[in-house]
Chain A
Amino acid sequence: MSTILICDDEPDIVNALRIYLTSEGYAVKTAANGKEALAVLSKEEIHLVLLDVMMPVLDGITALSRIRENSNVPVILLTAKSEDTDKILGLNVGADDYVTKPFNPVELLARVKSCLRRYLMLGGSTDHSKLTVAGIELDDRSKIVTLDGEPVSLTPTEYDILKLLMEHPGKVYAPEEIYREIRNAPAYGSEGMVAVHIRHLREKLEYDPAEPRYLIAVWGRGYKIEAHSITGKEGL
């Protein structure tokens, strides 16, 4: 059983999170600010930290940098500021993931699960036939795609597109290029279907398809898959 530290200055949010996490079977510790969180971390064995950014006494970013001085415990930032700079700062300081308030409980739980899985199953599979990006795992031999261990059912075209993108994480493929790669034929204007498939993929692989984390649209250029991305549909 994993122990999760919830650190937020808003008791109601802490309480709600506690209810969600305990219902999933996690043990929960709480802290009202960064200082308390550090105190808890030094005493207890914590497997994951949910850390609010804006807190009195000691803010989340500072607390995170203190945590990172002697621990690699997974940290998910809870941020109300949806500013890009905050996300970049948080990820640079050492956060493993972030969730923007107001968050969807389901999404949060999924992220927690994903983070814990990566943390607890260190190393994971080194099978070369398996492609892994963040929580998405693609096994080319069995043609099975899993998201955080859960199998996802994909159509053959969706599978081909995902495979193409996952083979080169971070590389941007133009819709036409994707079409050519998976169909072995020029698109002749039918590259529009690629966007539709991407959308389907996103619905299956993203917790919040409206705010994709992995399957990113690079507007005006194409699509890519990104392990950690601060760019999303959110433009502002």
Chain B
Amino acid sequence: MRKASWKSNMALKIALIILSVLSWTLCFFGLFGTFYLEQAEIYDAVDEDYARNALESRIAEQYSIVAATSDHYGSEELSQTNFRYGVIEGFTLKEAVAKGLFDDPDAYAYTDFENGIPREGARRVHSYTYQDDKTEVYVPYNLVNDGHVYNYEYETSFVADEEVGMPPEEIFVMTGDAPEEDSVDHTYVVDSTDYTPVEVPNDSQNYIIVSTVADKSYDYNLHDLYNEANTLLMVAYSWNMKNLFPVMAFAGAVLALAVLSTLLVMAGWRREKDEAGEQIERVVLRRRDFFPLDLGIFVAWTISIMIFGVTTGNFFVRYNWLDRMIRMRYVQLLLVLPLYTIAWLLFLASLMSLAANIRYGGAWQRTALYRFFHWIGVSVKRLILFIQGKYLPKHYREMLDAAVEARIKSERFQTELITNVSHDIKTPLTSIINYVDLLSKEELENEKAREYVTVLVRQSERLKKLIQDLIDASKASSGNVKLEIERVNLSVLLTQIAGEYEEKMKDAGIELVVQKPEESVFVDADSRNLSRVFDNLTENIVKYAQRGTRAYLDLTSEEGKAEVIFRNTSAARLNITSEELLRRFARGDESRSTEGSGLGLSIADSLTKLMGGTLTLTVDGDLFKVTVTFPSI
């Protein structure tokens, strides 16, 4: 079980770290900005509508909105919200005159108010007029104030900036379409204090009537109100700037959530090849990986969810259209609440893991929560594997598991077989060899019987050798060999081997030529098993090389590898491929009759592989060449 190194997924991890830092920077700057703005009371003014509403409510505090006029004028539409039109576009009286707002002879004003309501029988007076460029405004002579009718001459005029003695509370405004019988294009709001008229867009279908109430302060100045509105609106128009902060916080929170999720998922699995080396990746949530996510990461998760919630809330509050589209409470319920829940579960899990690790020393894997997160990790990983097309359906997995298990079983069986076969086969073999030996010592009368016994002696010895080779071959091929890897002097080893075989070579009529460099060549190997490899290969030369030829044993060392090359001319025709030769019991057909088990090369190959070397076989006509390569020191 290899521990995943930090270096794996390096790019991803670096990206995650950068993203993480970025997200948290965004979050905190965003939140800071947002809260700062809120503190400065400008925060709320980020939206034009909002500003107007705020202004409206401010006005409403000081003025009574003549709601009753609704009935009076028969308009159902009259409401507070319409007031805004009277506020936004404001002009001073001078400006109004200059702009020719009073051009319209059909503008009306009412004079007779009581508590903001036009009295019964109040006269509708003709509106202001002006002539040429004079800044004179003509007002009706019979304005009524406070129950007292001021009888101004019809032609009386005043200059806008001058005090004309009109009691402030008398001022009123008339806007809108001409009541009942008449209609006007413009509506105005005029303040009694400074006579500031306010134009209402022509397309307004509604009446707005503002009046002061007697008991309220007279200090009110519509112009101030206008200014305030303007300030607010200024802020409102630049809402993009102001909204940058909440957007930053929101984006940061989303990013942080994504990064944390990725981290959690990454921690939630590890790659693991199963015993048989199949390409199945199993998913296990490792405590070691999971543990560093403790507290810190879950707290971070929780905070990021909170920011996420707050900022989403902000958006919904701020943008009516959004709120209208998706009700905030649904968002809270469906999105933020589950995220909160997960965050707290994770937080709880981390605490539990901490507690369990302290208390039980890692036994927290048994907890239900651990299994829950394990399951999440597994599912995510499986999903990814599935997308990658690597995930096997359950029944395939079961089949594969069964196959792997069978293989392990058979390997175990093979190991046991090797151990037991020694006893179970060798015991009867011992008897055979012994009794054949005893028989050969008996003085047999029969010539044929003696001949047969000779065959028995020879063949039982051969059987003994064969069985030993077979056991060795199984051991070597199943890796049941204890290796003691040490530094081995190949030069000395080859001298020893060559010495062991000198006479056998001579008997077989083969000249063995050993060629090796002057310096000793060292490799890391198990000397006994390495000698067995060379032993088998030399034995092969004795058995299968053509009489009267030379065989070569070369030792070379270059570029970090040591090579031992055995070369000989085969006595029999090699009608077999090198792959086949390495198989157990393989011998060239022509060589069948020769003594030997056919296991020598297979054993040599297995042992070489076990010791980390390679054995290659080359057959070129009658030239038989075996190269054993080891990394040299």
Which residues of A come within 8 Å of B, CB atoms?
A: 10, 12-13, 16-17, 19-20, 54, 80-84, 101-105, 174-175, 191-196, 198-199, 217-223, 231, 233, 235-236
The answer to whether A196 touches B499, judged by C-beta atoms less than 8 angstroms apart, is: yes
Pick the contact of A195 from B482, B496, B527 — CB < 8 Å? Answer: B496
- B394 to chain A: closest CB distance in Å? 43
Q: Which residues of A contact B419 (CB under 8 A)?
A: 81, 83
A102 partner, pick from B433, B471, B481, B528, beta carbons under 8 A: B433
Q: In the complex, A199→B507 CA distance in Å?
A: 15
In the complex, the chain A residue whose C-beta lies closest to that of B460 is A102
Say yes or no: is B488 at the interface (Cβ < 8 Å to chain A): yes
Using a CB-CB cutoff of 8 Å, which residues 552-585 of chain B contact chain A? none
Q: How far is the CB of A140 from chain B (nearest CB, A)?
A: 26
On whether the beta carbons of B434 and A219 are closer than 8 Å, the reply is: no
Task: Known contacts A12-B431, A199-B500, A217-B531; decide if A82 and B495 are in contact (CB<8 Å).
Answer: no
Contact A195 B489 (CB under 8 A): no
Smallest distance from the beta carbon of A76 to chain B beta carbons, Å?
14
Per a CB cutoff under 8 Å, which of B422, B426, B482, B527 touches A220? B527
In the complex, the answer to whether A81 meets B423 with C-beta atoms within 8 Å is: yes
- The 15 sampled A-B contact pairs (Cβ below 8 Å) are A13-B430, A81-B419, A83-B419, A101-B427, A101-B430, A102-B433, A175-B495, A175-B496, A194-B495, A195-B499, A195-B502, A196-B502, A217-B496, A221-B489, A236-B472
Which of A13, A17, A83, A223 interacts with B427 by CB under 8 Å?
Answer: A13
Chain B contact residues (Cβ within 8 angstroms of A): what range?
Answer: 35 or more
**Closest beta carbon of chain A to B513's beta carbon, Å:** 12
Interface contact A219-B435, CB-CB below 8 Å: no
Docked-complex contact A13 and B423, CB < 8 angstroms: no
Q: How far is the CA of A10 from the CA of B528 in the complex (A)?
A: 33
Rounded to whole Å, the gap between the CB of A143 and the closest CB of chain B is: 24
Q: Tell yes or no: B126 within 8 A of A by CB.
A: no
The answer to whether B499 and A194 touch across the interface, beta carbons within 8 angstroms, is yes
Distance in Å: Cβ of B323 to nearest Cβ of chain A: 81
| CB <8 Å contact, B430 and A220 | no
Q: Which residue of A lies closest to B469 (CB)?
A: A236
Complex interface bits, B476-505 against A, C-beta within 8 A gives 1, otherwise 0 = 100001100000111011011111101100
Which residue of B422, B434, B472, B496 contacts A105 across the interface (Cβ within 8 Å)? Answer: B434
Q: Which of B389-441 contact A (CB under 8 A)?
A: 419, 422-423, 426-427, 429-435, 437-438
For B434, the chain A residues whose CB sits under 8 A away are 12-13, 16-17, 20, 102, 105
- Whether B423 pairs with A219 at a CB distance below 8 angstroms is no
* Residues of chain B contacted by A101 (CB below 8 angstroms): 426-427, 429-430
Q: Which of B433, B482, B495 has the most CB of A within 10 A?
A: B495
Q: Does B166 lie at the interface of the complex (its beta carbon under 8 Å from any beta carbon of A)?
A: no
**Once the chains are docked, how many angstroms separate the CA of A82 from the CA of B464?**
13
Give min CB distance, A148 to chain B, whole Å: 20
Residues of A within 8 A of B464 (CB): 102
Q: Is B159 on the interface with A (CB-CB < 8 A)?
A: no
Q: Counting CB contacts under 8 A, is B532 at the interface?
A: yes
Q: Is B530 close to A, CB under 8 A?
A: yes
Measured in the bound complex, the distance between the Cα atoms of B439 and A20 in whole Å is 12
A20-B438, A80-B430, A102-B426 are known; give 10 further A-B pairs, CB within 8 A. Answer: A10-B427, A10-B431, A80-B427, A82-B471, A175-B492, A175-B495, A192-B495, A198-B499, A221-B527, A233-B535
Which residues of B are interface residues toward A (Cβ below 8 A)? 419, 422-423, 426-427, 429-435, 437-438, 464, 468, 471-472, 475-476, 481-482, 488-490, 492-493, 495-500, 502-503, 514, 527-532, 535, 607
Question: Is A220 within 8 A of B423, CB to CB?
Answer: no
Q: Are A222 and B427 in contact (CB under 8 A)?
A: no
Inter-chain CA distance A98–B476, complex, in Å, is: 24
| CB-defined contacts of A13 to chain B, threshold 8 Å | 427, 430-431, 434
Least CB separation from B487: chain A residue: A220
Which of A102, A233, A236 lies in contact with B429, CB distance below 8 A?
A102
Using CB atoms, name the residue of chain B closest to A52: B427
B497 neighbours in A (Cβ, 8 Å): 195
A-B residue pairs, 5 tightest by C-beta: A195-B499, A220-B488, A219-B531, A16-B434, A235-B532
Report the Cα distance A16→B434, complex, angstroms. Answer: 6
Known: A80-B426, A222-B492. A192 touches B435 (CB 8 A): no
Residues in B neighbouring A19, C-beta threshold 8 A: 438
Cβ contacts under 8 Å, A82 to chain B = 422, 468, 471
Residue numbers in A under 8 Å from B438 (CB-CB): 16, 19-20
Q: Which residues of B contact A54 (CB under 8 A)?
A: 423
Contacts of A10 in B (CB 8 A): 427, 430-431
Q: Which residues of A contact B429 (CB under 8 A)?
A: 101-102
**Residue from B437, B468, B492, B531 in contact with A174 in the complex, judged by beta carbons closer than 8 Å:** B492
Are the C-beta atoms of A192 and B422 separated by less than 8 Å?
no
Contacts of B435 on A, CB cut-off 8 Å? 12, 16
Contact present for B427 and A220 (CB under 8 Å):
no
A69 to B500, CA, bound (A): 43
- Contact A220 B492, beta carbon cutoff 8 Å: yes
A235 touches B529 (CB 8 A): yes
Question: Is B422 within 8 A of A236, CB to CB?
Answer: no
Contacts of A105 in B (CB 8 A): 433-434, 437
In the complex, chain B residues whose CB is within 8 Å of the CB of A81: 419, 422-423
- A5 vs B527: C-alpha distance in the bound complex, in angstroms? 38
Output the nearest chain B residue to A81 by Cβ-Cβ distance.
Answer: B422
B503 — which chain A residues lie within 8 A by C-beta?
A: 196, 199
Give A129 to B426 CA distance when docked, in angstroms: 43
A163 to B109, CA, bound (A): 144
Q: Which B-chain residue is minimally distant from A209 (CB atoms)?
A: B500
Contacts A13-B431, A81-B419 given; does A220 touch B502 at CB 8 Å: no
Do the beta carbons of A220 and B437 come within 8 Å of each other?
no
CB-based contact A195/B498 at 8 Å: yes
Residues of B within 8 A of A236 (CB): 471-472, 475-476, 481, 529, 532
With A and B bound together, what is the CA distance between A231 and B429 in angstroms? 24
Bound-state Cα–Cα, A16 to B429, Å: 12
- Measured CA separation A82–B482 after assembly (Å): 13
Q: How far is the CA of A95 from the CA of B504 in the complex (A)?
A: 35
Residues in B neighbouring A174, C-beta threshold 8 A: 492
**What residues on B are CB-neighbors of A233 within 8 Å?**
531, 535
Task: Give A17's nearest chain B residue, CB to CB.
Answer: B434
In the complex, how many angstroms separate the beta carbon of B435 from the nearest chain A beta carbon? 6
> Within the assembled complex, what's the spacing in Å between the Cα atoms of A89 and B303?
66
Chain B CB count within 10 A is highest, among A174, A217, A220, for: A220
CA distance A220 to B503 in the complex (A): 20
| CA gap between A84 and B497 in the complex, in Å | 23
- Interchain CB contact under 8 A, A192 and B499: yes
Residues from chain B with Cβ under 8 Å of A195 in the complex:
495-500, 502
Given the complex of chains A and B, what is the CA–CA distance between A199 and B501 in angstroms? Answer: 9
CB-CB nearest in chain A for B441: A23
* A199 lies within 8 A of B530 (CB): no
A157 to B433, CA, bound (A): 37
Q: In angstroms, how far is the closest chain A Cβ from the Cβ of B557? A: 14
Nearest CB in chain A: distance from B105 CB, A: 125
State in angstroms the CA–CA spacing of A83 and B421 once bound together: 12
Are A221 and B430 within 8 A (Cβ)? no
Assess whether B499 is in contact with A16, with CB atoms less than 8 Å apart.
no
- With A12-B435, A83-B419 as given contacts, are A220 and B529 in contact (CB-CB < 8 Å)? no
Taking a contact as CB atoms closer than 8 A, the residue among A16, A191, A217, A219 that contacts B488 in the complex is A219
Bound-state Cα–Cα, A191 to B503, Å: 16
Would you give the shortest CB distance from B260 to chain A, in whole angstroms? Answer: 54
Complex interface: chain B residues within 8 A of A218 (CB): 527
Q: How far is the CA of A13 from the CA of B432 in the complex (A)?
A: 9
A139 to B532, CA, bound (A): 35
CB neighbours (8 Å) of B496 from chain A are 175, 195, 217, 219-220, 222-223
CB distance from B526 to the nearest CB of A (A): 8
